[in-house]
Structure 1
């Protein structure tokens, strides 16, 4: 009796293993968000908002480009909220395919981001009175970036993700270097190295996914 196509496929162990691996890959693609959609919004947010901060509050108090004082901080707040909402929607669409502990982990991790940013925003708004503009920019920028780095490191520990750990460590080191350099320089370092690092992470993750 002639063999069917499925029978001939599974008669070959190598072909069977290849089929199983293809199915695993397809499943991972369904439940894992596109890295570009998860990292690039944050990278663009940092490039734009911290770039504006550098132009308005440059090193040694220099104003490289004249603009209202509220523009950099407002841009940072609005773009952070937009990036958070966008990546939350993307992550939520992927998470709908997942049930059980992994789904709860993702939900709690997302809540941690919202809770962390909300807490810092409230704290910083309470202690900002009386600070000069340069120190205010460093406080908000350095604090928010520090939180992002720690959250990426925590996420790497939860999911045993080496790439996320490297990204979290890079963001943390970049932030520390910028804070040490001082107001003005911090914004430039975070915009270029931090925002650029997020864009690179999204590209590398996408290439690995392919």
Structure 2
């Protein structure tokens, strides 16, 4: 008579705990979106978009590459839209497997991003005609990056994600350094330090998930 799984001797406590931990880790991996899909689109958007701003509107009005004035902003906004679509699809695929408080947390956190950016945009738009272009550009870019850093840190606190919190703190420090350096330099610092950090965080998160 061929033995079945029911005939196998019970696992000892250590083996049972190890099995539970393995299954818990497998479940976490299946429910967690690929960090590359969540961070790389934004990282490359920052790297390319703010990089174009630096090339066209460099420090002290210097033009490194004679691009059309409208191109950096249009490119940055287009890249942001594409990044939002990619991360939205990736996040929704994972959220469909969850229900209850966790799903509501994700929805509320996503809405927080949209509402916060809309409010900040409405505020900055009120000053668009009262400031020089260089200072106005720094206000918009610095404010948006500051909000991104704060929301990343808040997300890290909500999900108990140390890496996301560190990314938010780093983004905030990079933003402060860029603001102090001034218009032009801010774009370069945010492109390399902020966008590059998101790309690196995506790689690190993917390796940890594996």
Length-normalised TM-score, structure 1: 0.93
Tell me what 1:152 maps to. Answer: 152
Tell me what 2:69 maps to. Answer: 69
State the alpha-carbon separation in 2 of the partners of residues 95 and 109 from structure 1.
12
Tell me what 1:16 maps to. Answer: 16
Tell me what 1:190 maps to. Answer: 190
User: Residues 24 and 34 (structure 1 numbering): CA distance in 2 closer, same or farther, change over 3 Å?
Assistant: same
State the alpha-carbon separation in 2 of the partners of residues 148 and 69 from structure 1.
25
RMSD: 1.7
SS of the aligned residue for 2:81 comes to: helix
Q: Is the 8 A contact 1:45 1:76 kept in 2?
A: yes
State the alpha-carbon separation in 1 of the partners of residues 50 and 97 from structure 2.
36
Correspondence 1:61-140 to 2 at 5 A:
61-140=61-140
Comparing 116-125 with 63-72, which one deviates more in the overlay?
116-125
Correspondence 1:51-70 to 2 at 5 A:
51-70=51-70
How far apart are residue 45 of structure 1 and its match? 0.5
Deviations 1:112-136 (A, max 9, x none): 0111122222222231124333222
Length-normalised TM-score, structure 2: 0.93
Q: Is the 8 A contact 1:53 1:137 kept in 2?
A: no
Q: Is the 8 A contact 1:9 1:15 kept in 2?
A: no
Tell me what 1:162 maps to. Answer: 162
User: Residues 147 and 12 (structure 1 numbering): CA distance in 2 closer, same or farther, change over 3 Å?
Assistant: same
Q: Name stretches of at least 5 consecutive residues in structure 2 with no aligned partner.
A: none
How far apart are residue 48 of structure 1 and its match? 0.6
State the alpha-carbon separation in 2 of the partners of residues 73 and 140 from structure 1.
11
Q: Name stretches of at least 5 consecutive residues in structure 1 with no aligned partner.
A: none
Q: Is the 8 A contact 1:56 1:67 kept in 2?
A: yes
How far apart are residue 13 of structure 1 and its match? 4.3
How many residue pairs get matched? 210
